């Protein structure tokens, strides 16, 4: 157990409760649904999530009431003990995992409650809740695991559950294909994740400090500062491998292509996967391994660049999508890009902050879209909607609140988290104007396409057919109440991160500080036991600059800007927490708000005041419009290159196997068969013939000789007489 950590014998229940619900509904749900209907399924599926959320709140309160270090741990048993590899099957709650379990279990519980209304007529209701509970179990295991192997169980678990949920209606071929696509694309990233984990363990083993425990890793990774693998800086190599794994789970360039197709699953699944669980796994993983990334500024630059590019790239595609869920899907990809942009400039707390606020407003938006689809009899084309605000007042208001939140308007949650990232993209030593510009332009596009979505869906005249118009109605309370709760969180959820520039204390950043704060180097303890006084390497404490004191045994200071140089410090904290703030921050806040207002105003001008303008622009800029509408033909490019290449390679290997491998095997078999036939002939005709011939000769001679032994005396006398006569005759001639 971590020194100073508090034992907590209830932690195992947080992931175990959803697992129990999955097992009960999975094995007995079909018979329960046939006998008693959907109510017992709902009670089990929702009840275990509510209980898990209550335990998460209790764990969070225990952290708030405890002294440093704020860590709760429970080790159930020693899982793996092989040589240098020691891994416990255990769980750990610190400020980072506390935020994650609150989001996962809290938002997950609301989505479960919403699902009772959305899915109540589905024949596979029991199976749906079993998969949903299993998904939450996997995500809770991922964020609660005390070591890298426990994380990997959850990491693979959410990948499996995403396949099951996206392809839930598996009798529809396209939906089944979407599930398989998500599964296979994630396997690409998972391979890189595994390679990174092996490389990390190998590097630490060379220093006799092999560990996969997260707390031990924080103090052990400085030993890798100057190590290389295959000619690459080891921490950078591991960091990039981990990030490739994150691009799969969190849908970043180039592995984002599965997420838009994941809209094939039920809408509550989209809310769960794309708001609070699977897609945030990569962001959490980078936050959890931030001590490693502090040694790898090159990896952080890659994270920031890919995140910024993804934020802008996905936002441009969202401008022209006509499927209400596809708009939100590309919005999710873009917002995840913001999170990685924050992590890449070492604003780890800012990235986690945006993860939390995004869970609130994006879950509300997805569930709101489900309410619209439910009212429109499963119609998803926003061109066939319009005027729905008078039919769906609760859905409209909650959707509007969350739209303004994601656009980044104060005082809503999205403003504070997005502004934190944009400011750090400019002011952090790892930031630069290009990264800020990517985020700022992406923010403007987000405000535009989300306002476009609201105007086309809820404003103007209803464009639905008469039958649909006649049956339009608000969703049941089981669906609207979660929307209201999430909309409230989309308003107030960001108030825990009000920056010092606006008179706040950025509570969430201070709360997360122990996770991203001071870390003692393992170099001294490795060399001589306890760390020597004055020889401590520190990672950035929020709002402070770390320093390494000179002294014997100190890790040598690498060349600034070179490979292996620790990331510029002081980048993980608040706006100089407790030391004032930069007046320039007000300027960037104003720019951020102005960009959001401009995007909303432009959408209003194009889709409310002059609704003919979008079609005119699409005609005038036909090439650009077709490029965005076809999503830059990325899927087609992958199909023409990677997929076709894979198919060609598989056919080539099949032909090689059939002609060469099978030819060699079959040829060898033919030769063996011929040799055996020839050998059989030789054995039959020559060997057996010779043996049988000798036997025949002796049998014939024996048969003839046997005739002499008849037992008749007269015959014997005759033979004697003939023999004597023959001797006499021969003697006369000889």
610-657 pLDDT, tens digit each: 999 999 999 999 999 999 999 999 999 999 999 899 999 999 999 999
Residue 580: its pLDDT value, please? 54
Alpha carbon of residue 673 to chain centroid: 53
How far apart are the two ends of the chain, measured CA to CA in Å?
120
User: Of 357 and 697, which is predicted with more confidence?
Assistant: 357
Give, for 78, the enclosing helix (H) or strand (E).
strand 72-82
Structure tokens at 535: 């020889």
Q: Which residue has the tokens 């945030």?
A: 280
- Three-class SS string for 2-24? CCCCEECCCCCHHHHHHHHHHHH
Residue 549: its pLDDT value, please? 37
For the chain, give the percent of residues with pLDDT over 70: 90
Give the three-class secondary structure for 230.
Answer: coil
Give the three-class secondary structure for 112.
Answer: helix
Q: Which residue has the tokens 């998972």?
A: 190
Task: Provide CB contacts within 8 A for 630, sequence distance 6+.
Answer: 636
Following CA atoms 394, 396, 399, 402 in sequence, which dihedral angle do they give, to the nearest 10 degrees?
A: -80
User: Can you say whether residue 576 is alpha, beta or left, with left for phi > 0 and alpha for psi between -120 and 50 degrees?
Assistant: left
Residue 708: its pLDDT value, please? 65
CA separation for the pair 136, 25 (Å, rounded): 14
CA separation for the pair 594, 589 (Å, rounded): 9
Q: What is the mean pLDDT of residues 715-720?
A: 78
Task: Provide CB contacts within 8 A for 102, sequence distance 6+.
Answer: 53, 56, 57, 60
Band the pLDDT of 521: cuts 50, 70, 90.
very low
Q: Is the pLDDT of residue 564 over 60?
A: no
Average pLDDT, the chain: 87
Lowest mean pLDDT among 14-23, 185-194, 367-376, 672-681: 672-681
Task: Specify whether the CB–CB gap between 419 and 573 falls below 8 A.
Answer: no
Residue 274: its pLDDT value, please? 84
- Three-class SS string for 317-383? HHCCCCEHHHHHHHHHHHHHHHHHHHHHCCCHHHHHHHHHHHHHHHHHHHHHHHHHHHHCCCCCEHH
Residues 16-38: tens digit of each pLDDT: 999 999 999 999 999 999 999 99
Residues 598-610: tens digit of each pLDDT: 999 999 999 999 9
CA separation for the pair 307, 301 (Å, rounded): 10
Structure tokens at 442: 């992406």
Band the pLDDT of 56: cuts 50, 70, 90.
very high
Q: Which residue has the tokens 């950078």?
A: 236
CB count in 10 Å sphere of residue 695: 10
Q: What is the mean pLDDT of residues 73-80?
A: 90
Reported pTM:
0.84
Residues 191-231: tens digit of each pLDDT: 999 999 999 999 999 998 888 999 899 889 999 999 999 98
Residue 536: its pLDDT value, please? 36
Q: Is the pLDDT of residue 542 over 50?
A: no
Q: How many residues does the chain have?
A: 734
Residues 256-302: tens digit of each pLDDT: 999 999 999 899 999 998 887 899 999 999 999 999 999 999 999 99
> What does the buried/exposed string (b/e) look like for 254-288 if buried means 16 or more CB atoms within 10 Å of the residue's CB?
bbbbbbbbbbbbbbbbbbbbbbbbbbbbbbbbbbb
Q: What is the mean pLDDT of residues 551-573?
A: 37
CA angle, corner 657, sides to 653 and 660, nearest 5? 115
């Amino acid at each position: 157990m971590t020194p100073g950590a508090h034992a907590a014998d209830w932690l195992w229940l947080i992931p175990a409760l959803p697992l129990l619900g999955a097992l009960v509904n999975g094995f007995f749900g079909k018979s329960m649904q046939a006998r008693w209907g959907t109510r017992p399924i709902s009670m089990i599926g929702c009840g275990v999530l509510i209980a898990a959320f209550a335990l998460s709140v209790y764990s969070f309160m225990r952290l708030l009431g405890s002294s440093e270090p704020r860590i709760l741990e429970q080790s159930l048993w020693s899982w793996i003990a092989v040589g240098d590899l020691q891994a416990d099957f255990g769980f750990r709650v610190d400020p980072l995992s506390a935020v994650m379990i609150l989001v996962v279990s809290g938002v997950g519980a609301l989505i479960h409650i919403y699902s009772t209304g959305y899915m109540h007529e589905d024949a596979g209701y029991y199976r749906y809740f079993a998969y949903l509970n299993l998904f939450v179990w996997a995500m809770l295991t991922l964020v609660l695991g005390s070591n890298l192997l426990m994380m990997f169980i959850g990491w693979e678990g959410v990948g499996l559950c995403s396949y099951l949920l996206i392809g839930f209606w598996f009798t529809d071929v396209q939906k089944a294909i979407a599930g398989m696509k998500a599964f296979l694309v994630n396997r690409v990233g998972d391979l890189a994740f595994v390679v990174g984990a092996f490389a990390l363990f190998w590097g630490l083993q060379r220093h006799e400090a092999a560990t996969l425990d997260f707390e031990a890793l924080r103090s052990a990774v400085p030993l890798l500062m100057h190590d290389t693998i295959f000619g690459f800086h080891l921490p950078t190599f591991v960091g990039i491998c981990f990030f490739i794994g994150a691009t799969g789970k969190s849908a970043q360039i180039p592995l984002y292509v599965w997420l838009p197709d994941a809209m094939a699953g039920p809408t509550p699944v989209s809310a769960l996967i794309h708001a609070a669980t699977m897609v945030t796994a990569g962001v959490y993983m980078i936050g959890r391994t931030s001590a490693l990334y502090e040694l790898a500024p090159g990896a952080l630059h890659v994270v920031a660049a890919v995140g910024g590019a993804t934020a802008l790239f996905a936002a441009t595609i969202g401008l022209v999508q006509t499927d209400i869920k596809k708009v939100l899907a590309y919005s999710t990809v873009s917002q995840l890009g913001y999170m990685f942009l924050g992590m890449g400039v070492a604003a780890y707390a800012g990235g986690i902050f945006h993860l939390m606020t995004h869970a609130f407003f994006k879950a509300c938006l997805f569930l709101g879209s489900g309410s619209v689809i439910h009212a429109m009899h499963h119609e998803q084309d926003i061109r066939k909607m319009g005027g729905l605000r008078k039919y769906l007042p609760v859905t409209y208001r909650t959707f509007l609140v969350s739209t303004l939140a994601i656009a980044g308007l104060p005082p809503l949650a999205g403003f504070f988290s997005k502004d934190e990232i944009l400011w750090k993209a400019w002011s952090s030593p790892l930031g630069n104007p290009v990264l800020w510009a990517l985020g700022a332009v992406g923010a403007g596009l987000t405000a535009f396409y989300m306002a476009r979505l609201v105007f086309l869906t809820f404003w103007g005249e209803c464009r639905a057919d008469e039958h649909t118009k006649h049956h339009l109605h608000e969703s049941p309370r089981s669906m609207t109440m979660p929307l209201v709760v999430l909309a409230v969180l989309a308003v107030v959820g960001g108030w825990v991160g009000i920056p010092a520039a606006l008179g706040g204390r950025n509570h969430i950043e201070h709360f997360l500080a122990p996770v991203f704060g001071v870390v003692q180097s393992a170099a001294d303890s490795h060399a001589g036991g306890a760390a020597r006084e004055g020889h401590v390497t520190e990672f950035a404490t929020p709002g402070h600059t770390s320093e390494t004191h000179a002294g014997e045994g100190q890790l040598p200071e690498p060349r600034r800007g070179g490979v292996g140089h620790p990331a510029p410090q002081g980048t993980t904290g608040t706006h100089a927490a407790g030391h004032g703030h930069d007046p320039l921050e007000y300027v960037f806040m104003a720019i951020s708000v102005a960009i959001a207002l401009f995007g909303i105003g432009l959408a209003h001008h194009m889709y409310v005041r002059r609704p003919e303008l979008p079609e005119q622009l699409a005609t005038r800029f036909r090439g650009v419009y077709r490029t965005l509408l076809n999503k830059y033909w990325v899927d087609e490019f992958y199909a023409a290159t990677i997929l076709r290449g894979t198919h060609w390679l598989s056919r080539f290997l099949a032909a090689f196997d059939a002609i060469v491998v099978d030819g060699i095997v079959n040829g060898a078999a033919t030769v063996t068969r011929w040799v055996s036939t020839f050998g059989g002939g030789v054995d039959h005709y020559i060997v057996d013939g010779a043996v049988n011939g000798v036997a025949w000769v002796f049998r014939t001679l024996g048969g003839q000789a046997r005739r002499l032994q008849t037992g008749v005396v007269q015959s014997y006398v005759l033979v004697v007489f003939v023999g004597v006569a023959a001797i006499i005759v021969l003697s006369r001639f000889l």
